[in-house]
Structure 1
Amino acid sequence: MTTGKPRVVCISQARMTSTRLPGKVLMEAAGKPLLAHHLGRLSRCRNLDALVLATTVNATDDPVADLAATLGVPVFRGSEHDVLSRFAGAAAMAGADVVVRVTADCPLIDPDLVDRVVAALLESDPPLDYVSLDVTRYPRGLDAEVFTRAALDEAAANATDPAEREHVTAHIYRRPDRFRLGAPLQPDGAPVDQRWCVDEPSDLDLIRTLLGALLPEKPDFGWQDCCKLLDQHPDWADINRAVRQRTLH
């Protein structure tokens, strides 16, 4: 890491060829593509120096790259399946010292929570290589991981397991003997068992319902505003309750 203030770069990964819901990141909710909601919310983060979209070299992802460019977000294009190399390339392009990993199927991502995870790594003493939001206690769809560029480059150079090439950070968090891993950040209260990421049509239905209700009243809403709304409309949580999260952890 360079001396002085580290350069913090958020890299969001997106592609059109999702297996369960192809083209999901450009599907619309409340009049805008999900990707536009996602990138717009990340632009409110205070602890980021840059935001980059990492997509593939496939022609099918030209619309993803075009939308990001229209929104003023730099784009890096790399391998579809070797996402680790794609992140390493994006981090190098952006001159990152610290990398924030998020995924574009999270249109409700919370900028304040992203800032908290970044601060947890930057302010750690002794220093950390990796810290994340606790996805077992926060709603899925707020996920954020923060790690040093050095750890990313080491993973990109050494990872051989195909799952570690695809899932970017697995090479890091699977090796507590090699990397300094921070305790995952947890909410103050009880765990919240909700799905706010988009993998299935029913996930999209829920996101459209939430954005349609929240944006007119509070365009800069946070994750707890979503919780309050679902408390007021408990039947909404049933919209995507049958969907199961795929996970490597």
Structure 2
Amino acid sequence: MGRPRVVAISQARMTSTRLPGKVLMPAAGRPLLAHHLDRLARTPGLDAVVLATTVNTADDPVAACAEGLGIAVFRGDEADVLGRFAGAAAMAGAELVVRVTADCPLIDPVLVGRLIATFLGGQCDDPPLDYLSIDSTRYPRGLDAEIFPRRLLEEAAANAADPAEREHVTPYIYHRPDRFRLGAALAPDAPADLADLEGLAEQRWCVDEPADYELVRRLLEALLPANPGFGWQDCCKILRDHPDWMDINRSVRQKTLH
């Protein structure tokens, strides 16, 4: 049996409730979405990247941005994110799906690659892994990723009735530990992978509100000129040098599931 086809699917739309148009806001001369997709495409172990957006005309610029980078685009119902992911996975011929969101311009390809490698290693177990994620309680928000087989995505798309399960894609899987084998969330390796930064797990490197955008813009513009392939630990180093930056979005709270 050959290695399964691994496809990363990212979701994006212009009509974000808290910061409309955020994915196309500029930083270091490019839209945030372009930074996100370029970084994601460098992930080791990925066979393809797809952007899942809506059929709304407001999202035509989102689709155009991705297509301009050579990224395939799937367009579906704005209200049914789960259905969009299932359609994107089918279009790409995915066997394993890596789910990310486009409000994470600082996503780390090495960390996502580690997630993929760990999951593939778990396919040799009996029973094999069904779901694995990056531990968002140990890393800053904005590095998040999940991986699972496409067959489970299709099952969820066919059966999920709860609006939160259709909006957030994976709760159908991780809320059923009696049916699916959930791996322990991927945490930093100690000591080499741990950054000496106070309150690391409380950091927000995703973009939901204007304060988030200001922090991420500063990080991109500080890091890209000297090191286009920077990783999450390079962000930590910049924040150690500029501790006042950590206060920029400290008051922003993560949106919770319904």
Q: Shift of the alpha carbon at 1:185?
A: 0.3
Q: 2:72 — aligned with what?
A: 74
Given that residues 91 and 149 in structure 1 are in contact (C-alpha distance below 8 angstroms), is that contact kept between their aligned partners in structure 2? yes
Secondary structure of 1:77's counterpart equals: strand
Out of 86, 90, 98, the residue aligned to residue 96 of structure 2 is: 98
Q: Structure 1: which 5+ residue stretches go unaligned?
A: none
Secondary structure of 1:140's counterpart equals: coil
Q: Shift of the alpha carbon at 1:150?
A: 1.1
Q: 1:5 — aligned with what?
A: 3
Q: Shift of the alpha carbon at 1:248?
A: 2.4
Q: Shift of the alpha carbon at 1:116?
A: 0.9
Q: 1:214 — aligned with what?
A: 223
Output the TM-score relative to the length of structure 1: 0.97
Secondary structure of 1:192's counterpart equals: helix
Q: 1:64 — aligned with what?
A: 62
1:232 aligns with 2:241: yes
Out of 77, 85, 103, the residue aligned to residue 87 of structure 1 is: 85
Letter in 2 for 1:150: R
Q: Shift of the alpha carbon at 1:236?
A: 0.4
Secondary structure of 2:52's counterpart equals: strand
- Map 1:119-130 to 2 at 5 A: 119-124=117-122, 125-126=125-126, 127-130=128-131
Once residues 179 and 220 of structure 2 are traced to their aligned partners in structure 1, the CA distance between those partners, rounded to angstroms, is 42
- Map 1:141-220 to 2 at 5 A: 141-188=142-189, 189=194, 192-220=201-229
Once residues 229 and 85 of structure 1 are traced to their aligned partners in structure 2, the CA distance between those partners, rounded to angstroms, is 39
Q: State the Cα deviation string for residues 71-91 of structure 1 (Å, max 9, x = none).
A: 100000001011001000000
Once residues 156 and 74 of structure 2 are traced to their aligned partners in structure 1, the CA distance between those partners, rounded to angstroms, is 19
Letter in 2 for 1:105: D
Once residues 205 and 60 of structure 2 are traced to their aligned partners in structure 1, the CA distance between those partners, rounded to angstroms, is 26
Letter in 2 for 1:158: N
Once residues 173 and 145 of structure 1 are traced to their aligned partners in structure 2, the CA distance between those partners, rounded to angstroms, is 11
Kindly tell me the number of residue pairs found equivalent between the two proteins.
247
- Map 1:32-47 to 2 at 5 A: 32-47=30-45
Letter in 2 for 1:132: S
Once residues 192 and 88 of structure 1 are traced to their aligned partners in structure 2, the CA distance between those partners, rounded to angstroms, is 31
Once residues 202 and 188 of structure 2 are traced to their aligned partners in structure 1, the CA distance between those partners, rounded to angstroms, is 12
1:135 aligns with 2:133: no
Which shows bigger deviation, 152-161 or 14-23? 152-161
Q: Shift of the alpha carbon at 1:120?
A: 1.4
Once residues 222 and 20 of structure 2 are traced to their aligned partners in structure 1, the CA distance between those partners, rounded to angstroms, is 26
Letter in 2 for 1:9: V
Q: State the Cα deviation string for residues 3-62 of structure 1 (Å, max 9, x = none).
A: 411000000000000000000000000100000000010111111000000000001000
Secondary structure of 2:98's counterpart equals: strand
Q: State the Cα deviation string for residues 70-116 of structure 1 (Å, max 9, x = none).
A: 11000000010110010000000000000000000000000001111
Q: Shift of the alpha carbon at 1:183?
A: 0.4
RMSD, aligned α-carbons: 1.1
Q: State the Cα deviation string for residues 198-249 of structure 1 (Å, max 9, x = none).
A: 0000111001111111011111000000011101111000011110001229
Given that residues 151 and 179 in structure 1 are in contact (C-alpha distance below 8 angstroms), is that contact kept between their aligned partners in structure 2? no
Q: Shift of the alpha carbon at 1:119?
A: 1.1
Given that residues 119 and 132 in structure 2 are in contact (C-alpha distance below 8 angstroms), is that contact kept between their aligned partners in structure 1? yes
Given that residues 6 and 97 in structure 1 are in contact (C-alpha distance below 8 angstroms), is that contact kept between their aligned partners in structure 2? yes
Once residues 159 and 183 of structure 2 are traced to their aligned partners in structure 1, the CA distance between those partners, rounded to angstroms, is 22
Once residues 193 and 218 of structure 1 are traced to their aligned partners in structure 2, the CA distance between those partners, rounded to angstroms, is 25
Q: 1:110 — aligned with what?
A: 108
Once residues 205 and 147 of structure 2 are traced to their aligned partners in structure 1, the CA distance between those partners, rounded to angstroms, is 20
Q: Shift of the alpha carbon at 1:193?
A: 2.0
Once residues 66 and 233 of structure 1 are traced to their aligned partners in structure 2, the CA distance between those partners, rounded to angstroms, is 35
